[in-house]
Amino acid sequence: MTSSRFAVATHILTLLALKGDEPLTSEVIAASVNTNPVVIRRTMAGLREAHLVVSQPGAGGGWRLVGAPEAITLCDVFRAVETDDLLALPPKLPNASCPVGRTICGTLGEVFHEAEMAMAERLARVTIADVLRDAVPQSSSPR
């Protein structure tokens, strides 16, 4: 199981998309996510590094979305906040004197990578704008 950082990050970005250009403080965001402002700032660190949001200290400051909600996919969000692999290899190396132990990590490493790519591709088909449309149906005109 992953941490909930990915879910929290998506929630935040959707909230920022809803508010448009108005900067939101960590405290306001924390009230919607129902957690602590520090937890929000911790999550935002990854999003800022990925250039998905910008932050502004001082009075009247807060967080703003960088790009268009249509241009941010959930895959981008996932990559920004979730650094570890989802599927884990064993903590200790297997016994190299066994033919299976010698090869299993390489084999599984490839398969795991492909499986994670398949998941990422599915996430890439959903954008923050899609998530926002679920929250505020009238927020977007049908194409």
| Site for a second copy, rule CB under 8 A | 1-4, 6-8, 10-11, 14-15, 18, 31-35, 74, 84-95, 98-104, 106-108, 111, 114-119, 121-123, 126, 131-132, 134-136
What are the angstrom distances between the C-alpha of 119 and each of 39, 49, 97, 114?
Answer: 26, 23, 34, 9
Nearest alpha-carbon partner for 104 in 114, 95, 117: 95
Tokens at 86, concatenated: 């989802």
Confirm or reject binding of residue 59 to DNA (CB under 7 A): yes
Query: With contacts defined by CB under 7 A, how many residues of the chain interact with DNA?
Result: 33
| String of contacts with DNA for each residue 65-104, x by CB under 7 A | -------------------x---x-xxx------------
**From CA 55, how far away is CA 120, in angstroms rounded?**
27
Picked from DNA, a second copy, none, the partner binding residue 48 (CB below 5 to 8 A depending on kind) is DNA
Task: Give buried/exposed letters for 100-122 (b at 16+ CB in 10 A, else e).
Answer: eeeeeeeeeeeeeeeeeeeebee
Confirm or reject binding of residue 62 to DNA (CB under 7 A): yes
If residue 56 lies in a helix (H) or strand (E), which one and from where to where?
strand 53-56
- Please give the residue ranges that form the binding site for DNA (CB under 7 A): 1, 3-5, 8, 24-27, 35-39, 41-42, 44-45, 48, 55-63, 84, 88, 90-92
